[in-house]
Chains A and B, each alone.
Chain A
């Protein structure tokens, strides 16, 4: 489905989308899975999880230089937001998750790979409002450089509630030498080993079948 309007409401469905509008709001009810694997443009994306919504959002982009994602979470929701990016451009990416209600599980994964002249700057912010209860949140941001450019992660947690479990993980790395030695010791060329390592890294958190992953990159 090609999204060319500014507002969509999804309920109890699994859908493959391509976003061609710069500003898009998605309102989620019920159990929804979205695969957004083909979008090519800069994007301001708003996601609103209504009460009792359950959303898995798989997002993959190549060479997109600006993506702002604003997530609003109400009550009794589960969110798995998995964003992966491969870029040869210098880009800026923001993910803001605002937890407004109680009893939510909010898991955010951002996996980026920079190559050639690519440079990734990620700002991930989790905000938990005061006087709400029983929230579990993970903010996992990892960036791998295949080049010598400087990548940056700003992990922010702004928590005003006492009753929340919140974790964050931020890593900047190159290609792991131990991985490389292991794969080459099985007979893979260095180039192929690096290719498997970064593709595995970038696709690992996307909730897709093996066949779907093989067709992405």
Chain B
């Protein structure tokens, strides 16, 4: 369970998250919506401990453990995974090298290369990506859609228990979005993780159905509800929110 309580976060001395509270139980899917620049992505980066985001007050706990006192590495090892809207490319570091290093460090022993490659090949097939992705540099020279699939390759290998999808719909055409959403749904069916979906378009939520929807305004959660709240936003937009 993720518990965010009265979180206040600054970037460059500007408060960009204000009194933000959110609880996500195991296996629940939550959507965090709101217009651009309201602080949605900042919540993701803060959960994972990006050093550009200074927590002024409040707490973030995952399975009762204090995330704010942990390094980004340890937060990831607790099972938190961020699928970014624009995953960066890293020159010279291959997917296989990175994944092998993580798994080896976490298990504190060398990994079985045969089993590792076998699993990677099976995931490539599942995601409909060529097995050459395994030895390509991370996201290097890949289109927006390929980068998202590449991140899914990481997700399936690392098997997180909490997934943050930060505007994964940005830069994807309908077919690519369906493929990514189907893969997330398949993962959910198999591993039952908690999921936090960040988006400003309700369209994505047609493919990955949330249990709860929260809308941000003025850098905090203004309103929470079920999927009907997303439908309301699709119909009326964000502008009149909170004025009724």
Contact = CB atoms under 8 A, between A and B. Distances in A.
A185 B88 CA distance: 12
B77 A187 contact: yes
Contacts of B72: 181, 184-185
A186 interface: yes
- Chain B's interface size range is 20 to 34
Interface of A: 177-179, 181-190, 192, 196-197, 199-204, 210
Contacts of B81: 185-186
Given A187-B106, A201-B92, A181 B51 contact: yes
Interface stretch (B28-36, B58-66, B97-105, B201-209): B97-105
B48 A185 contact: yes
A182 B93 CA distance: 12
Contact of B93 (A181, A187, A196): A196
Which of A181, A187, A196 is the most central at the interface, judged by chain B CB atoms within 10 Å of its CB?
A187
Contacts of A183: 90, 93, 98
A200 B94 CA distance: 8
Given A186-B154, A187-B76, 9 more contacts: A178-B88, A182-B88, A185-B81, A185-B82, A186-B102, A187-B158, A196-B90, A201-B92, A204-B137
Given A186-B158, A187-B105, A189-B73, A197 B90 contact: yes
Interface in B69-89: 71-73, 75-77, 81-82, 87-88
The 7 closest A-B pairs by CB, nearest first: A200-B92, A204-B92, A200-B93, A187-B76, A184-B72, A187-B102, A184-B73
B73 A199 contact: no
Contacts of A210: 94, 135
A182 B51 CA distance: 12
23 contacts: A178-B88, A179-B88, A182-B88, A183-B90, A184-B71, A185-B72, A185-B76, A185-B82, A186-B76, A186-B81, A186-B154, A186-B158, A187-B73, A187-B76, A187-B102, A187-B106, A188-B105, A189-B73, A190-B73, A200-B91, A200-B92, A200-B97, A204-B91
A101 B129 CA distance: 45
Contacts of A187: 73, 76-77, 102, 105-106, 158
B50 interface: yes
A138 to B, nearest CB: 16
B243 to A, nearest CB: 38
Most central of A181, A182, A186, A200 by chain B CB within 10 Å: A186
A189 B75 CA distance: 11
Contacts of B135: 210
Nearest to A213: B92
A189 B81 CA distance: 15
Given A185-B72, A188-B102, A190-B71, A196 B88 contact: no
Interface in B122-141: 135, 137
Given A177-B51, A187-B158, A201 B91 contact: yes
Contacts of B94: 210
